[in-house]
Amino acid sequence: MDEDKKPYEISFLLKNEGDREVLRKVLESVKSQVVFEGEVKSVALAYKIKKENQALFGWISFLASPEDVLLIRDKLKTTPVLRFLIVKNPPKKSSPAREAYRARKALAQNAESPKERPSVLSNEALEQKLKEILQ
């Protein structure tokens, strides 16, 4: 039965921290498997949603079948969750440490070896080379 479960991610805006438990209960009610919960943080809204200027933004990665996702969407419409968005096959989250590691690795691979680097010339030697080339 787990073979038909696919990775999804739900992003949400909540009025208060208690609404997060409502969201978890909806996910549990359809037997979805929570993989990871992102940190919830307070955000200022660009426009009022249900008379609210502030909301709590967060996201949850989970595994569910496509039919279950439809049930989750229908159930969340009747909860105090301000807004939500469910996406299929979310991109992998990476940490700043992993990004720094990848950047260092890319720099090391692209770096020239000392033998390939041109030698440093003094100004006099450079001018002499230019005179040779121009003659």
Q: How far apart are CA 19 and CA 23, in angstroms?
A: 6
Average pLDDT over residues 78-93: 84
Q: Determine the straight-line distance between the first and last CA of the chain, rounded to whole angstroms.
A: 81
Would you state the pLDDT for residue 89?
A: 75
Q: How far apart are CA 64 and CA 89, in angstroms?
A: 11
Would you state the pLDDT for residue 26?
A: 93
Tokens describing residue 89: 């096959």
**pTM for this entry:** 0.62
Would you state the pLDDT for residue 129?
A: 86
User: In the structure, what pLDDT confidence band is assigned to residue 130 with cuts at 50, 70 and 90?
Assistant: confident
Would you state the pLDDT for residue 118?
A: 58
